[in-house]
Amino acid sequence: MEEDPHAPVAVQAEALFLLNLLVLPGLSFAVLLWLAYRHRRSPSPLARCHLKQAVIASLWAGALLTAVAALILVLGGLHKPATWVVLILYFTCCHAALVLFGIVGLSRAMAEKTYVYPLIGSRQW
């Protein structure tokens, strides 16, 4: 099997998705967008797939973790303990699922295979 010369770009995209979730939110997303822009016309389907999936998954992660959390707070009330229990459970479960998706994506990129995030990924790349 011949190695794809653009495989490091796919690995970088998935690593940046995980960095955005775990270490440097915002900054990692900006670097991911720059990487996606720089390689937007990459001849490698592997690089295009992982870049698009990582960007779309990052956008979904931001929406799921901020907008839904804010909605829970608004609907539940800031001073009710049940609201905070629901919010913490939601955030923990959603964040953990996104991290697991990112780990699978990173392992697929390292194996030089394409990957579509379940539920939130784009089927067209």
Task: Give residue-wise pLDDT tens across range 3-57.
Answer: 777 689 999 999 999 999 999 999 999 999 999 999 988 788 999 999 999 999 9
Query: For 74-94, how does the pLDDT look when each residue is reduced to its tens digit (9 = 90+)?
Result: 999 999 999 999 999 999 999
Query: For 100-114, how does the pLDDT look when each residue is reduced to its tens digit (9 = 90+)?
Result: 999 999 999 999 999
If you ran DSSP here, which 8-state letter would residue 66 be given? I
How many Cα atoms are found within 13 Å in the side-chain-facing hemisphere of 12?
Answer: 14
pLDDT recorded at residue 54: 95
Residue 1 has pLDDT above 70, yes or no: no
pLDDT recorded at residue 42: 79
pLDDT recorded at residue 123: 67
Of residues 113 and 1, more confidently modeled:
113
Residue pair 76/89 in contact (Cβ under 8 Å)? The answer is no
Cα separation of 102 and 115, whole Å? 10
pLDDT recorded at residue 102: 96
DSSP 94-112: HHHHHHHHHHHHHHHHHTT
